[in-house]
Amino acid sequence: MRENGVKKIWARGGAVLNGWLSVPSAFSAEVMAHVGWDSLTVDLQHGVQDYLSLVPTLQAISTTAVTPLVRVPANEPGIIMKCLDAGVYGVICPMVNTRQDAEQLVQWCRYPPAGTRSFGPIRAALYGGSDYAQAANDTIAVMPMIETEEAVKNVDAILSVPGIDGLYVGPVDLALSMGLRGALDPTEPAVWSAIERVLQAARTHHVYAGVHCATPENAVKMIQRGFQFVSVMNDTYFMTTGASACVRAMRQGLGTA
């Protein structure tokens, strides 16, 4: 089976630089697959994406060596198994708040006896290879999101579920759940303290920690604190900021800003 680039980087102690795809276009995905990311996550939760845009997007990513991941919209079996059959190499799942949530997530991501995933890797075997059935359980990364106060409280119970490879912190939802102002680059001490708690649990349970970041500087800082998987904003953010800066520069150059 084709190797999982994310796990390979983790195995050598490195940090994965992950891009984030919100635009439901395989063409913009192919563009993003050529700029140097290690992996790309198709966001079916907050992105303008669904299963029928996921498949061509995965094909676009598969024209390169970038590793394809998904964030599913919710911890629901139908869509999770469909994404896996489409060939994602990792599942980031929002709002995993309890051990039971984590156990269900693993059930749906792993073939028996590790789980109850149903067999039918229609595109996954094209992408992964003919030994997909045998190797998938060891290859696919399962990454619950730790993004609520409740999840932080239960983090040890969650991360000790067998079959979990990583976790993903959503700093905005985490802060909001604590009654604080949401920010991708957290400033609140209580949020930092929760993040430290999560990082500590990740180390204890030998699970890789990921986090969504606001800037490359923020991402580097997070890696230095122990995260080994960072995403910075998303595809439209880069388009927006670049285009805005261009328009502003022209208006300033013309004295019409």
CB 161, min distance to its own copies, A = 20
Q: Kindly identify the residues of this chain, within the stretch 105-124, that bind its own copies according to CB under 8 A.
A: 111-113, 116, 118-123
Question: Is 160 or 172 the residue whose CB approaches its own copies more closely?
Answer: 172
Residue 148 contacts its own copies per CB under 8 A: yes
Site for its own copies contains 74 (CB under 8 A): yes
Of positions 11, 100, 126, 196, contacts its own copies by CB under 8 A: 126
User: Which residues are CB-contacts of 90 (< 8 A; sequence separation ≥ 6)?
Assistant: 4, 6, 39, 41, 67, 69, 70, 140, 141, 142, 143, 165, 166
Catalytic residue among 34, 46, 206, 212: 46
Decide: is 70 part of the binding site for its own copies (CB under 8 A): no
| 46 catalytically annotated | yes
What is the rounded CA–CA span in Å between residue 212 and residue 231? 5
Provide the token pair at 21: 């795809």
Return the residue of 177, 186, 199, 209 that touches its own copies, per CB under 8 A. 177
Beta strand pairing call for 16-21 and 39-43:
parallel
Does 55 sit near its own copies (CB under 8 A)?
Answer: yes
Cα 257 to Cα 251: distance, rounded to the nearest angstrom? 4
Query: Closest by alpha carbon to 23, among 34, 15, 32?
Result: 32
194 contacts its own copies (rule: CB under 8 A): no
Q: Please identify every residue annotated as catalytic.
A: 46
